[in-house]
């Protein structure tokens, strides 16, 4: 019962925090940057799920864990991707715009990909899934809080500026609690699947960082835009994945096995993405001399 209430409410607050830092220009700015927007959308919404499917199939991951991986690969970015983009000296405004737009688009794409994945990987064992209901639930726990956060900023900018850093810290604490809860409640499942799930997640992150960064360079985007697309493609909102997993397959206690890939990912991504960022920043600083 606590998980059923705490998890969605935590995601609502995290998405509200995201909205608190957004303005309408974060959506419209992408109209004036069609190339990076198109490349980012292609990488995050098409190539990422495809790469995840290939990795799952190659490594022989099956049933609930495979579906959990596909849910993860269908999630948008989040506040974490924006912060890491800033750390990497990327295009933070572009990162925020990506997160805003893709968070809305995944209300439609995530339920569809999840439904197809459940039929493919679980077959007759798949629990019933109402795609429309899942889409509406995602709308109310992601899009609505983002919209409220944006409304607060537009009406009470001084309050938003003051509260935003505190809200971000609270969101970080909630994120950590969710991840620890996901792993603790399904520890045996985590241990039993780690040697298969860990390499799959590492591969997913590394491949997407490489593909997104390389494709951006090939298509003549500048360095700041390229690193931004790479980070947005390599970092997903694990909280959304955990919440969606629990909405679909809600156990009597603890968190769903569908949430385990997102929980493991949320830890491993730091060990992959941060070294990548430090390598990039170091190389950029050396190029200047």
> Measuring CA to CA, which residue among 93, 55, 94 is closest to residue 72?
55
Are 268 and 202 in contact by the 8 Å Cβ rule? The answer is: yes
> Tell me, what's the pLDDT at 186?
63
| Higher local confidence (pLDDT), 1 or 43 | 43
Q: Quick check: 1 pLDDT over 60?
A: no
Residues 93-128 have pLDDT tens digits of 788 888 888 888 888 899 999 999 999 998 888 888
CATH assignment of 2-284, given 1.20.1530.20, 1.20.120.1200, 1.10.287.70, 3.30.1360.120? 1.20.1530.20
**Radius of gyration for the chain, computed over Cα atoms and rounded to the nearest angstrom:** 18
Residues 8-65 have pLDDT tens digits of 787 788 888 878 877 777 677 667 777 888 888 888 889 999 999 999 999 988 888 8
> Tell me, what's the pLDDT at 182?
65
Residues 147-165 have pLDDT tens digits of 888 888 888 888 888 888 8
């Amino acid at each position: 019962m606590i998980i059923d209430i705490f998890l969605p409410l935590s995601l609502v607050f995290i998405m509200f925090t995201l909205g608190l830092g957004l303005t309408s220009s974060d959506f419209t700015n992408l109209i004036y940057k069609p190339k990076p927007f198109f490349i980012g959308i292609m990488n995050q919404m098409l190539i990422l799920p495809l790469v995840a499917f290939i990795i799952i199939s190659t490594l022989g991951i099956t049933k609930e864990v495979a579906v959990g991986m596909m849910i993860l690969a269908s999630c948008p970015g989040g506040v974490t991707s924006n912060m890491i983009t800033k750390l990497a000296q990327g295009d933070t405004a572009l990162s925020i715009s990506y997160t805003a737009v893709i968070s809305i688009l995944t209300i439609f794409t995530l339920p569809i990909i999840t439904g197809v994945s459940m039929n493919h990987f679980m077959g007759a064992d798949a629990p019933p899934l109402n795609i429309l209901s899942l889409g509406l639930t995602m709308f109310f726990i992601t899009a609505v809080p983002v919209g409220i956060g944006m409304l607060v900023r537009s009406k009470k900018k001084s309050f938003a500026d003051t509260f935003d850093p505190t809200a971000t810290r609270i969101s970080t604490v909630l994120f950590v609690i969710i991840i620890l809860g996901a792993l603790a409640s399904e520890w045996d499942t985590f241990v039993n699947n780690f040697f298969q799930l860990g390499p799959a997640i590492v591969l997913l992150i590394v491949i997407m960082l490489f593909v997104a960064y390389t494709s951006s360079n090939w298509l003549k985007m500048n360095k700041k835009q390229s690193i931004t697309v790479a980070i947005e493609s390599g970092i997903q909102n694990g909280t959304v994945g955990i919440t969606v997993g629990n909405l679909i397959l809600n156990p009597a206690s603890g968190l769903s096995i569908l949430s385990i890939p997102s929980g493991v990912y949320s830890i491993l991504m730091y060990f992959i993405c941060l070294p990548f960022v430090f390598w990039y920043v170091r190389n950029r600083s050396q190029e200047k001399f």
